[in-house]
Amino acid sequence: MKFSSVFAAAAVTGVASADTTTSSEDLRTFSTIEPTASEIALQAENATTLQWSSDVKGKGFSRFFTIWLENTDYDKAADDPNMVELAKQGITLTNYWGVTHPSEPNYLASAGGDYFGLDSDNFSTMPKNVSSIADLLDSKGISWATYQEDMPYSGFQGFNYSNQKTFADDYVRKHHPLVLFDSVTGNSTRLGLLKNFTEFDNDLKAEKLPQYAFITPNMTNDGHDTSVKVAAQWSKDFITPLLSNDYFMNDTLVLLTFDENESYGIQNKVFSILLGGAIPDELKGTSDDTYYDHYSEISSVEAAFGLNHLGRNDVSANVFEVVANATNITNIKVDTTYKLNNESYQGYLNDANQVLLAPNVSATNLAGSSILPAISSVWASEYNAQVSESILTSTTTTVSGNITDVAPETTSSSSASASSSGSASGSASGSSTHSASSNSTGSGSSSSKAGAAVVSTSLVSAFLLLAANLLL
């Protein structure tokens, strides 16, 4: 799809695109939590750690653990000898994408199905009416946890915790998805499930691991402050003993991935490997070129366990083939020719004038499931209000055309508002040209009072783009 026709679609629906720049007074601000080391030591004494395991049978896998490394271009990671070794034991995903830059919005997206416009690593929180994968898992009693290396105690909500001898970066909040949600931190049970690597070792030894976990190594081991060489060595050392642990690997799928690539000017594709007992032996050492992105982590868990969805970009995100095959899901073919995923759209977290997008309460995910009823009951009327306003906004930024043709200062919002997919519509993984909307189909769109753009499903977009082209 041509860039110009995307703009035309926006023009046809008569909506303005977002401002090209965000002035500082428009930034949404949050108070930070930055306790001192001595305050942390005190709090640690009373911290509660919970061990939660369960045994719900899934289709394709019964346990999903993801391990995130940092900031590496696809080719660079693919060349690392330790990555090559690991790849021989699993399936390499050759078309797996980060959703924007920098780090934090990618982590946020993996748990919330959207990054809500976040374009920084700043302290931010999602209000308590925004749900996450934890709510989906809870709905069927599927145990979960996060394991964050060097987090000083379970449930820690501070901005960072450095190595107290060298003061090198260690644990950082921006790499911890579930702590970004008030719906998680406002619940003391959930705080007890945000744990560190000491607790991972304990849970493994006790055979009390959860069925879903998000694992973040410290800033040395994940490559952030070091290199992919360190990250790959750490990964091999961490994963190798697990691969021969029958308890851990039984029907388990492990996704080793990166939050984002390093070169912002190129496609935000990241090297990723699926490992574990859920991978059939004959597929070890093979690759899969299906389009996936961080939203696939949520959609795959939904499909495997037959869960409801979040009404966000998880709805249309492709599911990993082991699950797709086990559930007869047909993944979407995504044209990535003009896809970059390298800039955040203008939204709630980077602009105080933008409303919080409603999830699409009427969507059905690739597995045929509907939204979690508890989300619908909070958001249905706001969703309908946003749909009827039909104001264009967007989620994953996919700049059309050659990025070098567009000045960096101005690509952001013009391209974001014109060529992206909708949060309320949940159509992130689709083509690079979702935009514009109409209420007539009742499909997802959402609004922002600041007057940016509307979102909708690919079908609606495609229809409007067609209309736009006919009118021209």
What residues from 360 to 389 belong to the interface with ligand NAG (CB under 6 A)?
378-379, 382, 384, 387-388
Indicate whether 391 belongs to the interface with ligand NAG (CB under 6 A). no
For 316-327, b/e burial (b = at least 16 CB within 10 A) is bbbbbbbbbebb
Indicate whether 187 belongs to the interface with ligand NAG (CB under 6 A). yes
CA atoms within 13 A on the CB side of 79: 7
Indicate whether 351 belongs to the interface with ligand NAG (CB under 6 A). no
Indicate whether 51 belongs to the interface with ligand NAG (CB under 6 A). no
DSSP state of 84: H
Shortest distance, CB of residue 360 to ligand NAG, whole angstroms?
10
Nearer Cβ to ligand NAG (280/285): 280
Pick from 252, 370, 267: nearest CA to 320: 252
Nearer Cβ to ligand NAG (245/469): 245
Shortest distance, CB of residue 270 to ligand NAG, whole angstroms?
20
How do the residues of the chain divide into helix, strand and coil, expressed in percent and rounded to 5? 35, 10, 55
Indicate whether 160 belongs to the interface with ligand NAG (CB under 6 A). yes
Indicate whether 266 belongs to the interface with ligand NAG (CB under 6 A). no
Nearer Cβ to ligand NAG (149/260): 149
221, 197 Cβ separation under 8 angstroms: no
Distance CA(345)–CA(232), nearest Å, equals 31
Query: Which residues is 194 bridged to in the sheet?
Result: 146
Nearer Cβ to ligand NAG (93/465): 93
Pick from 373, 341, 306: nearest CA to 131: 373
What residues from 208 to 227 belong to the interface with ligand NAG (CB under 6 A)?
218, 220-221
Nearer Cβ to ligand NAG (250/472): 250
Nearer Cβ to ligand NAG (154/470): 154
**Interface residue with ligand NAG, options 42, 84, 206, 352 (CB under 6 A):** 42
Annotated active-site residue 225? The verdict is yes
Distance CA(180)–CA(127), nearest Å, equals 9
**Interface residue with ligand NAG, options 19, 114, 138, 203 (CB under 6 A):** 138
Indicate whether 189 belongs to the interface with ligand NAG (CB under 6 A). yes
**Sign, CA torsion 242/247/250/253:** negative
DSSP state of 269: B
- Sheet order of strands, 272-275 included: 194-195, 144-148, 212-216, 63-69, 252-258, 272-275, 91-93, 286-288
**Sign, CA torsion 101/312/319/433:** negative
**Sign, CA torsion 116/309/58/328:** negative
Indicate whether 296 belongs to the interface with ligand NAG (CB under 6 A). no
DSSP state of 64: E
Shortest distance, CB of residue 2 to ligand NAG, whole angstroms?
14
Q: Which of 26, 121, 169, 225 is catalytic?
A: 225
**Interface residue with ligand NAG, options 85, 206, 207, 325 (CB under 6 A):** 325
Distance CA(322)–CA(340), nearest Å, equals 26
Distance CA(202)–CA(370), nearest Å, equals 37
Q: Find the angle CA(223)-CA(228)-CA(231) to the nearest 5 degrees.
A: 55
Indicate whether 21 belongs to the interface with ligand NAG (CB under 6 A). no
Indicate whether 116 belongs to the interface with ligand NAG (CB under 6 A). no
Q: How many residues bind ligand NAG (CB under 6 A)?
A: 61
Nearer Cβ to ligand NAG (81/127): 127
**Interface residue with ligand NAG, options 23, 31, 38, 404 (CB under 6 A):** 404
Q: What are the CA-CA distances from residue 242 to residues 104, 278, 302 (Å)?
A: 28, 13, 25
CA atoms within 13 A on the CB side of 459: 8
Most distant pair of Cα atoms in the chain: their distance: 68
Helical spans, DSSP H, in 244-392: 246-249, 295-305, 321-327, 373-389
Indicate whether 41 belongs to the interface with ligand NAG (CB under 6 A). no
Indicate whether 244 belongs to the interface with ligand NAG (CB under 6 A). no
What residues from 66 to 95 belong to the interface with ligand NAG (CB under 6 A)?
none
Indicate whether 47 belongs to the interface with ligand NAG (CB under 6 A). yes
Residues labelled catalytic: 225
Using CB under 6 A as the criterion, which residues of the chain lie in contact with ligand NAG when the complex forms?
A: 27, 37, 40, 42-44, 46-47, 49, 62, 119-120, 122, 127, 129, 134, 138, 149-150, 152-154, 160-163, 167-168, 170, 187, 189-190, 196, 198-199, 218, 220-221, 246-247, 250-251, 280, 283, 321-322, 325, 327-328, 350, 356, 378-379, 382, 384, 387-388, 402, 404, 439, 442
